[in-house]
Every structure is written in structure tokens, then in C-alpha cells.
């Protein structure tokens, strides 16, 4: 009888010991799982002290919650390396204003922007649609739409502190790298003048008309004054090269805004059925580059 009781006691002790070992195994498994999650979260750097972003803090809170059934909260916090005060602060922020590191919880002060308002402001600042609007006017526009009510100084402060970049793209069409190009003779004539300084100090003016297609100099004059009468004579002389069957053709004379290209030239153009005038970089985008390049070539060889 005594031997039977002893056997029962030994079996009971063994079962109790097995149960304790099971509990210990579960606790060790919970610790290992917690450490694995923590290792994955911090990318192998368990010594990292701060967790600045809200997603990582939420992951830490979930890991702590998963181990709470087998480990005490104090033991779990020691393993994770988070103090009790920080843990409870994270829990409060998770239910309130979010876990991202911020100087203060949004709306702690009546004039402070919420996260949604900051996000709205960033959308306006970085939007391609509003890139042409100045920040001060952008603040007024957002207020008019009822999206955000903040002063222009607050907009400037947020842009400076957050490092937001406004889209900067070219608003004007790119300038053509190729000048005016005619497709056939007598389509474009270009007229211009340059100054020749003599060794005696006297200045004379060399004026010419050149065909854009053939690069042929149709007429030229050297004079001591630059007047519209000389330009008129040059155009009349150049017109002699027009074939008879092209009398009805329209030749576009490209000139700059100099006074020598107006006055008597206006009267000639009104009476002529073949000539019309456009001003370089005013009526058309292109400049009078072809004949200007001719003047530069003359100066390069020392003729001007």
C-alpha cells in the first residue's frame, strides 16, 4: 500500500515537472519570437535606441502584445529595451495623434496644424497644377477653396522646415538653336547694317540685303549716314532680281527694329505687291542671325 502511494506521488511530481517545463518552453519560444521580430524590425541592430517612425513603433507594440500572454509586461519591456513610461506614451499616442516623432501632438495648440492639414499643404506646394502660383497667392487660393486656412508666413515656415521643393519646369518654349531657314529662293530676304570705324575716326555704315536660301547678296550700300532712304533703294535694287513670272510672289523682308527700316520703307511696302516685312524677335521668334553672322565673318577677316 505504501509502495503504491509512493508511485502515485512520483507520477504526480513528474507531471508537475513536465507542466513546468512546458510553460518554460512556451516562455522561451515567446522570447525567441519577440527577439526575432525585434531583429527584423531594427535590421539587425538591437543596440538602436530610438524608433522615430510610427510604423516601427506600431510593430513593436504588436510584438509586445503577442508576448503578453506568456510573459509579464515588465519582462517583455526589458527584452525589447523600452521603458514602461515610453511604452504607455506610445499606447496613448497610438490612440490619439499618431506615433510619428513630432515636437508636439497636433492640435495641442489651437493654431497648430493637424497632420491632415500639413498633408494638404504639401499637396498644394508640390503639385504640378499650382507650380505657377506664388506661395502667398497659393495660401489665399487654398483658403478660397476651403481646403486649408493658414497664413502665408505659416506656408513659408512649413516649406522651409520640411524641405519641400516646388516643381520648377520651363514655362517658356525652348529657343530654337537653328535660325530662319527658307525652302526656296526669294522666300526670305534679310536686311541689316553694320558700322565700319575708319582709322581717321570716321564711321561709315555698310548695309546689305541677302537672300536666306541662296546666301546671295542682292544689294549693298556704303554711306556715311543710316537712313530709311538707303534701305528703300536697296530693296528696290534687290527686287530687280525677281523673275517676271514671280511678280505676284510674296517676299518676306526680315529686319530689326532700327529706324532705318521704317519711314520711306513703309511707303515702299504699301505700294509693293511683292514685299512684306516682319521684325526679327518681335513679329517672329527667330533673329536676323544669317546676315549678322555675315557681319561677324567680315570683322573676322578684318574688312569691317
For the segment 189-235, what is each residue's pLDDT rounded down to a tens digit?
Answer: 989 888 888 888 888 888 989 998 888 888 988 998 889 999 999 89
Residue 140 scores a pLDDT above 90: yes
135 lies in some domain? yes
Classify 135 as helix, strand or coil: helix
Residues 193 and 296 in one domain: yes
* Residue 45 pLDDT level (bands cut at 50, 70, 90): very low
Residue where a domain stops, chosen among 62, 95, 128: 95
107 lies in some domain? no
Residues 24 and 65 in one domain: yes
Cell numbers that stand for 168 in this block: 520648377
Residue where a domain stops, chosen among 124, 144, 162: 162
Residues 194 and 282 in one domain: yes
171 lies in some domain? no
pTM for the whole structure: 0.43
| Residues 97, 107 contacting (CB under 8 angstroms) | yes
Of 202, 222, 205, the residue nearest 258 (C-alpha): 205
Residues 11 and 54 in one domain: yes
Lateral strand order in the sheet of 251-255: 217-223, 203-211, 188-197, 251-255, 275-279
41 lies in some domain? yes
pLDDT value at residue 62: 76
- pLDDT tens string 6-23: 566 577 777 788 888 887
Helix and strand totals (H; E) in the chain: 10, 5
C-alpha 112/C-alpha 149 separation (Å) is 11
175 lies in some domain? no
| Residues 194, 205 contacting (CB under 8 angstroms) | yes
Question: 239 CB contacts (<8 Å, ≥6 apart)?
Answer: 251, 272, 274, 275
Query: What is the span of the domain harbouring residue 44?
Result: 2-95
Q: Residue 207 phi/psi, 5° resolution?
A: -125, 140
C-alpha 51/C-alpha 33 separation (Å) is 19
C-alpha 224/C-alpha 203 separation (Å) is 7
Residues 10 and 91 in one domain: yes
Residue where a domain stops, chosen among 95, 123, 140: 95
Residues 240 and 287 in one domain: yes
216 lies in some domain? yes
Residues 156 and 202 in one domain: no
Alpha helical stretches, state H, the chain: 2-41, 54-67, 73-80, 84-95, 115-126, 135-145, 152-162, 228-239, 264-271, 289-300
Q: What is the mean pLDDT of the chain?
A: 77
Query: Considering its fold, how many domains does the chain have in total?
Result: 3
182 lies in some domain? no
Q: Name 190's bridge partners.
A: 210, 254
101 lies in some domain? no
Amino acid at each position: 500500500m505504501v509502495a503504491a502511494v509512493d508511485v502515485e506521488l512520483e507520477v504526480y511530481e513528474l507531471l508537475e515537472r513536465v507542466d513546468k517545463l512546458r510553460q518554460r518552453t512556451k516562455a522561451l519560444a515567446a522570447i525567441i519570437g519577440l527577439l526575432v521580430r525585434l531583429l527584423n524590425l531594427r535590421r539587425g541592430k538591437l543596440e538602436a535606441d530610438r524608433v522615430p517612425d510610427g510604423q516601427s513603433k506600431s510593430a513593436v507594440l504588436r510584438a509586445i502584445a503577442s508576448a503578453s500572454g506568456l510573459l509579464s509586461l515588465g519582462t517583455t519591456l526589458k527584452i525589447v529595451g523600452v521603458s514602461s513610461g515610453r511604452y504607455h506614451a506610445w499606447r496613448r499616442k497610438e490612440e490619439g495623434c499618431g506615433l510619428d516623432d513630432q515636437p508636439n501632438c497636433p492640435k495641442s495648440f489651437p493654431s497648430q496644424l493637424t497632420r491632415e492639414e500639413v498633408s494638404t499643404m504639401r499637396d498644394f506646394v508640390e503639385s504640378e497644377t499650382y507650380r505657377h502660383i506664388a506661395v502667398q497667392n497659393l495660401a489665399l487660393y487654398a483658403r478660397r477653396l476651403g481646403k486649408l486656412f493658414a497664413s502665408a508666413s505659416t506656408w513659408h515656415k512649413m516649406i522651409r522646415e520640411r524641405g519641400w521643393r516646388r516643381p520648377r519646369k520651363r514655362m517658356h518654349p525652348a529657343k530654337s538653336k537653328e535660325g530662319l531657314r527658307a525652302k526656296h529662293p526669294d522666300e526670305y530676304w534679310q536686311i541689316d547694317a553694320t558700322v565700319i570705324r575708319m582709322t581717321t575716326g570716321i564711321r561709315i555704315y555698310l548695309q546689305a540685303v541677302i537672300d536666306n536660301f541662296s546666301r546671295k547678296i542682292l544689294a549693298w550700300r556704303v554711306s556715311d549716314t543710316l537712313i530709311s532712304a538707303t534701305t528703300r533703294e536697296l530693296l528696290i535694287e534687290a527686287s530687280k532680281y525677281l523673275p517676271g513670272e514671280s511678280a505676284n510672289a510674296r517676299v518676306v523682308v526680315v529686319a530689326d527694329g532700327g529706324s532705318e527700316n521704317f519711314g520711306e520703307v513703309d511707303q515702299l511696302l504699301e505700294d509693293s505687291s511683292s514685299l512684306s516685312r516682319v521684325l526679327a524677335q518681335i513679329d517672329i521668334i527667330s533673329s536676323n542671325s544669317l546676315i549678322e553672322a555675315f557681319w561677324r565673318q567680315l570683322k573676322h577677316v578684318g574688312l569691317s
